[in-house]
Structure 1
Amino acid sequence: MKKIFVVLSFLIPLFVYILTLAPDVYFTDSGELASVATSLGIAHPTGYPLFTLIGYLWSNLLPWSPIFNLNLMAAFATAASSLFLFLSLDLLFTNFNLKTKVVRRVSELNNLLLALFISTGYSFALTTWQQATSVEVYSLQLLIINAFIFTIISAYYSAKKSDIYLILSGFLLGLGFANHLTSFMLIPAGLIIFFNKTKTMNAQSRYKLLLYIVGATLLGVLLYLYLPIRSSQLPLFNWGEVHRSFDKFIYHVTGAQYQVWMFSDSAASKENLKLFFELIPSQITWIGILFLIYGFYVVFRGNKTLFFTLVSTAILCVVYSMNYSIHDIDSYFVTAYVVLFIIVGLAAKQLINYQVNLVYLFAFIPIFNLFVNYETNDLSDDQTVSEYYRLVMQSAEKDAIIVSAQWDFWVSAFWYKNKIEGERKDIILIEKELLRRTWYVNSLERWYPLIQNQCSTEIEHYQEQLEKFESDLPYDARLIQSQFVNAINCMIDQNYGKRPIYLTFDILQTDPDIAKNYVKIPEGFLVRLSKTEDEIRLNYDEFDLSVLNKSTYGKDDKLHEMSRNLAILNLKAGMNYFEYKGDKNNSAIILNKINKLNNPE
């Protein structure tokens, strides 16, 4: 009977995840990660070697497009994490001493039902579900977190195999580090269980076991050797070019460039902490919240070792994550939310010891989460990013050069569409913010050698100063910025008249010195550079926004809202330019499209 429930704990969430799976590229790093995994490249810091290697195998084994295959991998990994949570709960329900005065035998069926209700409730929690519908590293991290928790609980309760489980937990920890460095949050839990299980051992046996565990951990961490080895082969995507030096390697794998966002903004920390608590009802539901405090009491009274194991993990997760100023911080809270589900599960187990039929009360958690979170997490018809990308491409004439920093909305997707699926091979894209890194300058030279060669002197001078910054040597920030602008302007000047050249509006807002001597002509979702006040070349009658309207309408999250706002900003610029040129007909056409953005057909 247990095997049936184990299978259900995996298949039920997997079925729902597949129904809500994104059909194509999604926001932010989706396109880049899909490109890296498909081509066996190097991803953005911290490199994610485990994700890349598994993603490469997965994307090449299945018959569909690489991006759909990798979205499907996210669904499988998240569903598998639910399976491991089920196993952890079942183990706890069987072994945890609730210290209740009422001694009543709860049947295996009721224990399994309760474990299934809690684990599927976790599966349909807002933040868990978000990891399952599009490619990202967090889905694999969820699997590792839950597998690790299962192994340390197994080690704690096992009389004969605890050493094996502890060594396995060390290996899983190493794999976790090879996927995402937030795996350090699991270390206190592992140490607490280790010292508890070895307190009766002599010193020699304890150190020997610890050596095996550390060795198993290092075995997983050794996957980071993939980065310099593969980087030295100059793959298509070679973020960081970590083979160049040990310093470059360490800079990349530690995510040093992102550390400026750690513990840097007390206001952001308060907002993140507020967000953590605000999201709890969307995770464990209000029923879960009712039992949460009681659950802490049950665990503390029943087993202080497990109490401190679970609570230390949750606290470390929240304290670290709340001090990291990024827009998708909710994904970092998942470890704490897993702990909350376990604690709610133990409170529920205590309750059904008194009244076994109350087990069905906890079916409310997965049912509530399924219905409340379905619409938010249903990406099956969400083509926002692929449509935004398509409209940008429609805005660009043949052989165009585009300078942009709109990574989240279409640039990352362009990498996948252009380099992996072979679309618009005529386009040259320069990601402005990545140009502030030496590895990207080198990548542009390999991707578009003619463009680089035309400005070799300017780029060489810029590279020299940029290398000082990356190597933590004394540098002149104003000189770097000046040479950065000079390098981009050189590429624009050398190619004007040979290729159509475009910027996106963010460039005009953040770096007004770029192309400052050119007339900016809004065309679709781009701004064409010209030396005269040309007419707009784009036919707005054929600029179909209906799919973008449908995909973004009613979505109030930051990225969907910003996509709509960017679309409106671009359209208004085109409308104003037509009005300036006295073309009332085309101005009216664009105004009609703007109005439809709020009323999709």
Structure 2
Amino acid sequence: MFITNQEHHMSAKKKQQATKQRVTVSQTSSARGAASARGATSARGATSLKSQASRASWGLGLIGIGKVNTGENKLGMFEYVCGILVFLAALFTYLYTLTPDIGFHDCGDMVPAVVNLGVCHPPGYPFFCLLGKLFISLVPIGNIAYRMNFLSSLFASTTVMIVYFIVVRVGQSIISNSRISCIISGVVSAGMLMFAATFWEQAVIAEKYSLNVLFASLLLFILIKWQNDTRANSKLPFVFAATLGLAFTHHLQTIYIVPASIYFIAVILWNKKQQLFSNSGQIQDSFLPSPRPPRLRVRLFSNSGRIQGGSNPINSPIRLIAAMLACFIVPLLLYLYLPLRAMSHPPLNWGDPQTLPRFMDYITIQAYKHFIISSPAIWLQNAWTHMTTFFPNQFTGWIVWLSVVGLVFLIKYCRTISLLLCLVVLTNIAAAVRYGISNIQDYYLTSFMVFAIFIGCGILGIMKMVISRGIPPAVAIIFLCLPIIPFHAHYKQCQHRAYYFPTDIARNLLTTLEPNSVILIKGDVNGFPVWYQRYVENKREDVALVDTPFLFQDWYIEHVRHNFPQLNVDISPPASPGEELGYVRFRDILKKNVGQRGVYHYSDEPVPQGYAGVPYSFFVKIVNEGSDVLSELKKGDVPLILRRDCPLDAKATDMLRNYAGGYNNRGNNYLGAGKYDLAIHELNRAVKIDANIPVIYYNLGRCYGQKGQIKEAIDNFKHALTLNPNQPGIHKAIGGLYEKGNNPQQALKEYKQEANISPDDVETYLAIARVSLELKMPSETISACEQLVRLAPNNVEFRKNLALLYYQNGRMQEAQAAFQQVLQLSPNDMGARQMLERMQQML
């Protein structure tokens, strides 16, 4: 056979293809062997890596890292309806118990600052002032104080609702198959906060703390919602940052949230990164280094909030943080309100923060640095006292233990949230124990809110156990009755619907004053209600208000000179060496105004030398020494007028006691002038105001005694003893009346009781010696004289009388020693010398 060229070419080509196939098979076989070897090595490495990851995951899991939530729990219509009902229930409660007018605390400072857009006490609360101004302009109900109280109740009611939603949302992530359990737990938690003592008190007055807790609860809610949010375009991180900045423009207590927020945001970002690895098929615990890390670009909410694959893993988180910082900083520009308003010289202008140094001192609260406690021992003592008193007082003693159950439950099922809330409480405590103010319990309101959440989670944990054991969930409805307990415990304390006391007291004080007077105010409780009447209600616009604690500050003198030029206040008055600047300026005001206009200050303040104080009920009018006090007393004859059925809290009771003290002082002045009937009239006024002050009845007894009405005098003295059995002077006064009424036995008994109360009172032992001598009781007389010598060892007459008593009772050696001591004190005493010579002759 013959083979053509074409056929030969085709045969050669087939041979080449066969050869290539053999080579390919050989390469494939080799590659499979290599791959198998590499696979075995990789599998061993992956197993080791996964083991390391598991151990690290357990450690980080202790602080909440590594627990990825892959979806957001949705609230149904029923949950929202219950939340709205919780809000309405809280609002109804607070409106029913709302203070109808201005209250105590800082209300008299905050409300005038809102009305006049002034600068209240540091750090100024610019957001509160602007929001309050808008609210009172848009809501035409009641007077200004009532509107601001109403606004506070809205803040508190919203906080209660947010706490409900926090507990419901946490509950849904744990008990997803029982909506009613989550709702009941949320309602109980909201009810506990709603009726917590301090929270309720703040909800019915125009204070800043309700808004502060609202911000805290809102920030916590946003964080918890962000943790479960899987949307690609979530704006929650920016909402959180802007809300945090806005909260700082209201109150610096927002710092309590910051450490916990930093921790929680870090956990959120880490867990979302872990979710990325899990979704991309990588090892879920991929926070450990990998020999061949995947190329990723982590874009955490820089634009859309998505986490995407790619490169440059550092840029996007930085962009997120930068965007959040921008959202945080922008609201802080509200602090420019302070210098801008200070430039207009409003009626309230604390610190006058126009200049940069004053502004920095103001917003950093330098004026209150003297309240900071530096002793760690006192910090620990305060921490123990606050934890064991404030928290049980809010929720009642045994209910507060449910918060411990809730905390344990959260640690088991929601460790990240439990650590978030614990950090808030710990930061709150660490800050509050270092601050020594009288109303420090108000600084724990954020922690009280967290404890209410813990209590709700405690109920949630119990209900989860109930469900797991097959008990009908309806049994747990009894938990809904728990808020009734704090409601019953705190209702009387927080019922302020007829609380007009601050208003009535301030109006009474202003009514007392002469035209064009000046009040030298000291103290928030006394001054703030007067501020409200003067700067909001425009009562007594002719009266100048001067706060004496600020007189050492140059900015305050400038403020007084601008607002009250008629006082002619000098910023640098002449001073003696060593005199404190504030006192020098105080005396300068007195020098230039006493005699020209009425100058008043509070009755518990001392009157400077060279001046006299005339009691005007709660005030004292300062007059020049030598003035006609009786005529001034008649000018101050103004009765106290209070509305009936006004509940009295501790502040009101203290103020009424001071008011009664003013009438007691008026009675004393009349008593000293011999005007006994006028004195009795003023003292009876004091009794009507406060019938539990012993010194008033003591003075009434003195008045009746001077009038010769022995029975009435003794009755008043004895009534004083029922109020204070150890009141000095009363038994002595009763003894004097018995002695005057020819009843020496009863007088001696009263004098001896006085000696037990006042063992160092010379007059009492003189009275005992005198009556004992009259009753011919030598041993009693000698004993009383010995006490006189003990109290006044250099008194010659006391020693001579004792020596004579020794001599008359045959105690010659003691008499001789006593006369010798008389001669040591008075060598020229001839009587003592003669008695010594006579006794020597007798011996």
Q: When the two structures are superposed, what TM-score results if normalisation uses the length of structure 2?
A: 0.64
Which residue among 20, 25, 50 is the counterpart of 2:102? 25
1:523 counterpart residue number: 616
2:558 counterpart residue number: 442
Distance 2:680 2:380 in 1: 46
**Gap change, CA 1:133 and 1:538, over 3 Å in 2:** farther
Distance 1:417 1:71 in 2: 16
- Residues 18-38 of structure 1, C-alpha deviations (whole Å, 9 max, x = no match): 111112222232111100001
**Gap change, CA 1:162 and 1:277, over 3 Å in 2:** farther
Which residue among 332, 336, 340 is the counterpart of 2:447? 336
Residues 1:120 and 2:191 are matched in the alignment:
yes
Task: Tell whether the 8 Å contact from 1:405 to 1:506 is kept in structure 2 after alignment.
Answer: no
Residues 1:219 and 2:330 are matched in the alignment:
yes
Which residue among 318, 341, 356 is the counterpart of 1:207? 318
Which residue among 524, 535, 548 is the counterpart of 1:419? 535
**Gap change, CA 1:376 and 1:170, over 3 Å in 2:** same
Which residue among 360, 364, 378 is the counterpart of 1:250? 360
**Gap change, CA 1:161 and 1:428, over 3 Å in 2:** farther
Task: Tell whether the 8 Å contact from 2:602 to 2:618 is kept in structure 1 after alignment.
Answer: yes
What is the SS of the residue equivalent to 2:600? strand
Distance 1:538 1:360 in 2: 66
Shift of 1:143: 0.9
Task: Tell whether the 8 Å contact from 1:192 to 1:305 is kept in structure 2 after alignment.
Answer: no
Distance 1:162 1:172 in 2: 19
Distance 2:453 2:230 in 1: 22
Distance 1:448 1:289 in 2: 52
Task: Tell whether the 8 Å contact from 2:203 to 2:210 is kept in structure 1 after alignment.
Answer: yes
Residues 1:94 and 2:179 are matched in the alignment:
no
Distance 1:76 1:335 in 2: 17
Alignment of 1:435-584 (within 5 A): 435-452=551-568, 455-456=569-570, 459-460=571-572, 481-508=579-606, 514=608, 516-531=609-624, 532-535=627-630, 536-538=632-634, 542-547=638-643, 551=646, 553=648, 555=649, 557=650, 559-584=651-676
Shift of 1:438: 2.4
Letter of the aligned partner of 1:296 in structure 2?
L
Residues 1:147 and 2:243 are matched in the alignment:
no
Shift of 1:144: 0.5
Which residue among 373, 376, 380 is the counterpart of 2:497? 380
Return the structure number with greater relative CO, CA threshold 8 A, min gap 6.
1
Residues 1:326 and 2:437 are matched in the alignment:
yes
Distance 2:690 2:665 in 1: 18
Alignment of 1:168-187 (within 5 A): 168-187=239-258
Q: Runs of 5+ in structure 2 lacking a partner?
A: 1-77, 274-297, 299-312, 467-472, 693-843
- Residues 95-145 of structure 1, C-alpha deviations (whole Å, 9 max, x = no match): 1x37xxxxx831x23422321221122111111111111111111101101
**Gap change, CA 1:238 and 1:598, over 3 Å in 2:** closer
Distance 2:233 2:164 in 1: 20
Task: Give percent identity, aligned residues only.
Answer: 20
Distance 1:541 1:498 in 2: 21
What is the SS of the residue equivalent to 2:198? helix
**Gap change, CA 1:538 and 1:209, over 3 Å in 2:** farther
What is the SS of the residue equivalent to 1:403? strand
Distance 2:659 2:387 in 1: 31
Distance 1:351 1:336 in 2: 22
Distance 2:600 2:168 in 1: 58
- Residues 159-193 of structure 1, C-alpha deviations (whole Å, 9 max, x = no match): 22695222212111111111110101101221122
What is the SS of the residue equivalent to 1:220? helix
Distance 1:145 1:538 in 2: 55
What is the SS of the residue equivalent to 1:429? strand
RMSD of aligned residue pairs (Cα, Å): 2.4
What is the SS of the residue equivalent to 1:433? helix
Bigger radius of gyration: 2
Which residue among 297, 303, 306 is the counterpart of 2:414? 303
Distance 2:480 2:602 in 1: 50
Shift of 1:552: 5.9
2:339 counterpart residue number: 228
1:475 counterpart residue number: none
1:473 counterpart residue number: none
Task: Tell whether the 8 Å contact from 1:391 to 1:525 is kept in structure 2 after alignment.
Answer: no
Task: Tell whether the 8 Å contact from 1:170 to 1:213 is kept in structure 2 after alignment.
Answer: yes
Distance 1:444 1:480 in 2: 25
Shift of 1:423: 0.5
Between 276-285 and 116-125, report the one with greater CA deviation.
276-285
What is the SS of the residue equivalent to 1:421? coil
Which residue among 661, 686, 701 is the counterpart of 1:594? 686
Letter of the aligned partner of 1:366 in structure 2?
P
What is the SS of the residue equivalent to 1:507? coil
Task: Tell whether the 8 Å contact from 1:126 to 1:373 is kept in structure 2 after alignment.
Answer: yes
Which residue among 4, 8, 14 is the counterpart of 2:91? 14
What is the SS of the residue equivalent to 2:482? helix
**Gap change, CA 1:117 and 1:56, over 3 Å in 2:** same
Shift of 1:424: 0.7
Shift of 1:80: 0.9
Distance 2:482 2:331 in 1: 35
Shift of 1:75: 0.7
Residues 1:390 and 2:500 are matched in the alignment:
no
Distance 1:374 1:480 in 2: 53
- Residues 301-328 of structure 1, C-alpha deviations (whole Å, 9 max, x = no match): 2132222111111111012112110111
Task: Tell whether the 8 Å contact from 2:504 to 2:642 is kept in structure 1 after alignment.
Answer: no
Task: Tell whether the 8 Å contact from 2:520 to 2:548 is kept in structure 1 after alignment.
Answer: yes
2:177 counterpart residue number: 105
Give aligned pairs, total.
Answer: 564
- Residues 510-530 of structure 1, C-alpha deviations (whole Å, 9 max, x = no match): xx5x4x211211121111122
**Gap change, CA 1:419 and 1:292, over 3 Å in 2:** closer
Letter of the aligned partner of 1:13 in structure 2?
A
- Residues 204-243 of structure 1, C-alpha deviations (whole Å, 9 max, x = no match): 2222221222211112222112112222233332221111
Distance 1:14 1:81 in 2: 11
Distance 1:537 1:442 in 2: 34
**Gap change, CA 1:561 and 1:13, over 3 Å in 2:** same
Task: Tell whether the 8 Å contact from 1:14 to 1:79 is kept in structure 2 after alignment.
Answer: yes
Distance 1:504 1:78 in 2: 35
1:474 counterpart residue number: none
**Gap change, CA 1:416 and 1:268, over 3 Å in 2:** farther
